[in-house]
């Protein structure tokens, strides 16, 4: 079992403990609508900042994932049945917050025949219906490469579609044993070929090599990705993989420079970056 990382956390990773007025407002709204966020479930370091801006990354299809990725803080196990009222509650929460840009993600639901695709599509449709001026970014699972499930989701017409590669292929057996790097690349290409603005992201600091990250960026660009994010992996608990290295801000800047040279429309790269961090600014930059 991994041990809690003992590397000294550098100054650039010091974060503010959540608790401001905006944080409390969002927390109460989530409770009222029985909704989950990846911010809470995955121990996101930017929660105080984002919730302070009255925004959050909503997580649909419950709070329990059917996969056991060893980097992720989201609860694993056997999920409860999906809630048919969840899309409506999500749409109402977006309206109450007055959002002009929303990011929606989900747990993996390999227990469902369609991987949760219909709930995904209904969520996008409900949010769009109740919030016609709000742009919708979705961060989807791989649906085990099922293009029929992907078509169901894409038919709802989101504005941006993301699927994270998470880490370099050599680390998949350790970090993402139920995932498949080539599945994920093919999912990204399928999304891009359908004409959608396509996005992916990875964590660094798990032991990957610099050249492996560059090769992954090349793969992503070749498969139609136009928006790319890189952030520092932070160990959620002692049960998760330890941090191997804290990547310096200078190296993050180098990754960004390389990514822009490769041709991405936007590269968000920094220690505290997550795929949905300032997502609206990534699209308009």
* pLDDT of 135 above 90: yes
Q: Which residues pair with 214 in a beta bridge?
A: none
Helix axes 181-193, 210-222, angle to 10 degrees: 40
* pLDDT of 125 above 50: yes
What domain range includes position 192? 14-284
Kindly state the average pLDDT of the residues 212-233: 97
Domain count, the chain: 1
Residue 2, in any domain of the structure: no
Least confident of 53-67, 111-125, 212-226: 53-67
Q: Assign residue 16 a region (left: φ > 0; alpha: ψ between -120 and 50; beta: otherwise).
A: beta
Residue 1, in any domain of the structure: no
pLDDT at residue 118, rounded to an integer: 97
Interval 149-200: pLDDT, tens: 999 999 999 999 999 999 999 999 998 888 899 999 999 999 999 999 999 9
Cα(144)–Cα(149) distance, integer angstroms: 9
pLDDT at residue 42, rounded to an integer: 47
**Residue 284: CB partners within 8 Å, gap ≥ 6?**
none
Residue 95, in any domain of the structure: yes
Q: What is the pTM of this model?
A: 0.88
DSSP 182-205: HHHHHHHHHHHHTT-EEEEEEEE-
Residue 190, in any domain of the structure: yes
At 20, is the pLDDT very low, low, confident or very high (cuts 50, 70, 90)?
A: low
Interval 237-283: pLDDT, tens: 788 889 999 999 999 999 999 999 999 999 999 998 887 766 666 66
Cα(222)–Cα(278) distance, integer angstroms: 25
Residue 279, in any domain of the structure: yes
**Residue 194: CB partners within 8 Å, gap ≥ 6?**
154
Residue 4, in any domain of the structure: no
Residue 6, in any domain of the structure: no
At 51, is the pLDDT very low, low, confident or very high (cuts 50, 70, 90)?
A: low
Cα(136)–Cα(161) distance, integer angstroms: 9
- Output Rg (C-alpha) for the chain, integer angstroms: 18
Residue 260, in any domain of the structure: yes
Helix, strand or coil for residue 11?
helix
* pLDDT of 39 above 80: no
End-to-end CA distance of the chain: give it in Å, rounded.
42
Q: What distances in angstroms separate CA 274 from CA 45, 48, 82, 169, 234, one per listed residue? A: 9, 14, 26, 19, 11
pLDDT at residue 265, rounded to an integer: 96
CB–CB of 60/86 below 8 Å? yes
* Domain CATH for 275: 3.20.20.70
Angle ∠(108,206,178) on CA atoms, nearest 5: 30
Percent of the chain with pLDDT over 90: 59
pLDDT at residue 53, rounded to an integer: 57
* pLDDT of 18 above 70: no
Cα(252)–Cα(186) distance, integer angstroms: 26
* pLDDT of 19 above 80: no
* pLDDT of 7 above 90: no
């Amino acid at each position: 079992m991994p041990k809690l990382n003992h590397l000294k956390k550098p100054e650039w990773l010091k974060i503010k403990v959540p608790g401001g007025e905006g944080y409390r407002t969002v927390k109460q709204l989530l409770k009222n609508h029985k909704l989950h966020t990846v911010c809470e479930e995955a121990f996101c370091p930017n929660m105080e900042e984002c919730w302070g801006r009255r925004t959050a990354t909503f997580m649909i299809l419950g709070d329990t994932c059917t996969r056991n990725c060893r980097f992720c803080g989201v609860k694993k196990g056997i999920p409860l049945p999906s809630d048919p009222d969840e899309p409506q509650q999500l749409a109402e929460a977006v309206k109450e917050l007055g959002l002009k840009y929303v990011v929606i993600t989900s747990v993996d639901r390999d227990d469902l025949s369609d991987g949760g695709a219909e709930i995904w599509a209904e969520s996008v449709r409900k949010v769009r219906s109740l919030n016609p001026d709000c742009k919708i970014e979705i961060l989807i699972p791989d649906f085990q490469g099922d293009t029929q499930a992907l078509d169901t989701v894409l038919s709802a017409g989101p504005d941006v579609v993301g699927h994270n590669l998470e880490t370099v292929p050599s680390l998949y057996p350790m970090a993402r044993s139920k995932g498949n790097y080539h599945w994920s690349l093919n999912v990204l290409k399928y999304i891009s070929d359908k004409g959608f603005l396509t996005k992916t992201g990875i964590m660094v600091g798990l032991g990957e090599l610099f050249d492996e990250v560059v090769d992954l960026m090349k793969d992503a660009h070749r498969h139609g990705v136009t928006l790319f994010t890189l952030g520092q992996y932070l160990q959620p608990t002692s049960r998760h993989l330890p941090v191997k290295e804290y990547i310096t801000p200078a190296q993050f800047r180098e990754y960004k420079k390389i990514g822009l040279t490769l041709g991405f429309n936007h590269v968000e790269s920094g220690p505290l970056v997550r795929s949905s961090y300032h997502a609206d600014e990534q699209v308009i930059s």
